[in-house]
Chains A and B, each alone.
Chain A
Amino acid sequence: MFTVSIFSGCQDELDINDSGNLVPKTVDLDPSLPSVSLNNALFHAEAFGPADGPLVVVLHGGPGSDYRYLLNCREFASQGYRVVFYDQRGTGLSQRFPKSHYTMQVAYDDLSGIISHYRTDPNQKVFLLGHSWGAMLASAYINQYPTAIDGAILAEPGGLIWKDVKDYITRSRKFKYLGESLNDAVYADQFVTGKTDQHAILDYKFMLLTSKESSEIGNEGSLQEWRGGAVTFDAYLEIGDKQKPDWTTNLNKYTTQVLFIYSANNKAYGLQHAQKVSAPYPSVKLFKTEGAGHDMLSFPTGWSNTYPAMLDYLNSLK
């Protein structure tokens, strides 16, 4: 305690519970951020391009990441599309909620709310562009509402049934038990713990834990993000483990072609997994992004190799 007293006296200590110290403030605490209020929640959200253009709703991965790493998708705005980004409930810079708050239906309702908020005309076409968990959510939404969406770009969803998701996670998260990566991920557990409602602490720790991505997924570098959502991540992982969801039961009713993207450098994915995961869709165009890994939409090579295929796909359906 002597030591603590000395350190406390030397500098003004900071409060670990305060947003803005270790993690940025969320939209409910920082009114300067772009936001949308719907379904009794405040979302960090913004849109680019003409308001009456075909909607491209971008769904980020995680669960528990945010849309910052997908901002390359703004480029569709220059082609006349209305590109909509939002941080899903409880993650990024969106408002935080208790773990018990999360269900798949809540995620569907939030996506429906976002579409309704930005749609200016009932005839305005709506496309979903989902990456990783975002592609899983897009498929789950299409499975729930097979007539609501006019097209979908799905970039490496882990799986559309839980077993495929677990298998993919296992392949993509290979840690050496005696390696530095494991230390980087877990040793901080004795330094920082947060109670279930201390989102700033939990999110910071989540970002430390997830800062080191497995080399298996082949990325060119580290992703940019604003703020992870630890409780959101836990909640959806628990939902998956308990409910073992199958988001393929109605996909046979979705006859529109989907563009299914997988990357050349993600050793945990590959053509075989892409074919397996995309199989429930009646019409699939598989596209392999060369020179990129799992986050092919975030880094220059992956983006430049994928963008033309995505634009062709959207233009064919708009």
Chain B
Amino acid sequence: MTLSKKIFLLLILPALFINAAHSQTINWASLGKEQRHIAHAHAGFDYAFVYGVGYSRQLLSPIPILATIDFSTPVGNKVLDDFKTKIGGVADLCEFNNFHLSASVYGIYRRYENPMAVLQNFGSEFKGVFGFYQSKWFVAAEFGFDKAIVTHFEHSDAFKENYPEVKNGWYQPATGGNFSYGVQTGLSFDGVDALFRIGKVVTQDFKSSPTIPFYAEFGTNIKINR
């Protein structure tokens, strides 16, 4: 095993076992300081039809901050050939008159496999959310940027039949990037948020879109008192 493979495993395996978090869809007005643990589940279109689970822990801090992990995978016949893990945090930066501005930062590890290639990527996601929050409901606008920073390409024999000279390895500069913008809303009751978010995805040059140029997800948060 080469050094790079060992480092790879050291970095990746924890992420796989930890799993990770649906991002930043939180009703800040209904989140109590004593609710330290939040379990997430979500499903919908996010590049493909995906479902996922996650966990957030509210930190003891002057402003509400959640440390979050999330894992999602597309529905399909093959389990775990495609998936995305995210780890990061979200902070409720400021509040005035029931309006909240929050921001999140995530590190991403994701994998894609089809008959031609296996792609493994490290990336990042930044998101800002601004909206109106009440204890029973909220509605907010969100804007995000998902950057695929460095990607490893490994090609199958089927691909090499077409192009034997293809070069496997880590590729830079950044191999991709997509902006997203949309709305999120939710209802809150008895320590549970029922969530929905929908929006559009455009590539980083604003001139084209992914094959499925939108996202739409249902989700739920279950908030647990410590």
- Show the binding face of A for B, using Cβ within 8 Å: 3-4, 6-8, 10-17, 20-24, 177-180, 182-193, 195-196, 201, 207-209, 211-212, 222, 224-227
Q: A188-B114, A189-B211, A207-B116 are in contact. Are A22 and B169 (CB under 8 A)?
A: no
Q: Is B97 an interface residue (CB 8 A)?
A: no
Which of B154-191 touch A at CB < 8 Å?
A: 158-159, 161-163, 165-167, 169-173, 175-178
Chain B interface: which size bin? 35 or more
Could you count the A-B residue pairs with CB atoms below 8 Å apart for me: how many are there?
163
What are 10 A-B interface contacts by the 8 Å CB criterion? A3-B11, A16-B171, A184-B115, A188-B119, A191-B148, A192-B151, A193-B210, A195-B207, A208-B116, A222-B115
A224 to B158, CA, bound (A): 9
A8 to B205, CA, bound (A): 25
Q: Which residue in A6, A196, A209 is a CB contact (below 8 Å) of B7?
A: A6
Min CB distance, A139 to chain B, in Å? Answer: 29
Min CB distance, B226 to chain A, in Å? Answer: 31
- Give chain B residues whose Cβ lies under 8 Å from the Cβ of A187: 47-48, 74, 82, 112
Q: Beta-carbon contacts of B75-102 to A below 8 Å, as 1s and 0s?
A: 1111001101000000000000000000
- Give chain A residues whose Cβ lies under 8 Å from the Cβ of B49: 177-178, 182
- Give chain B residues whose Cβ lies under 8 Å from the Cβ of A224: 161-162
Q: Which residue in A12, A16, A185 is a CB contact (below 8 Å) of B173?
A: A16
Q: Is B153 an interface residue (CB 8 A)?
A: yes
Q: A13-B172, A16-B171, A24-B165 are in contact. Are A192 and B47 (CB under 8 A)?
A: no
| CB atoms of B170 and A191 under 8 A apart | no
- Give chain A residues whose Cβ lies under 8 Å from the Cβ of B78: 180
| CB atoms of B122 and A7 under 8 A apart | yes
Min CB distance, A227 to chain B, in Å? Answer: 8
| CB atoms of B175 and A186 under 8 A apart | no
Q: A182-B48, A183-B82, A190-B47 are in contact. Are A196 and B148 (CB under 8 A)?
A: no
| CB atoms of A13 and B170 under 8 A apart | yes
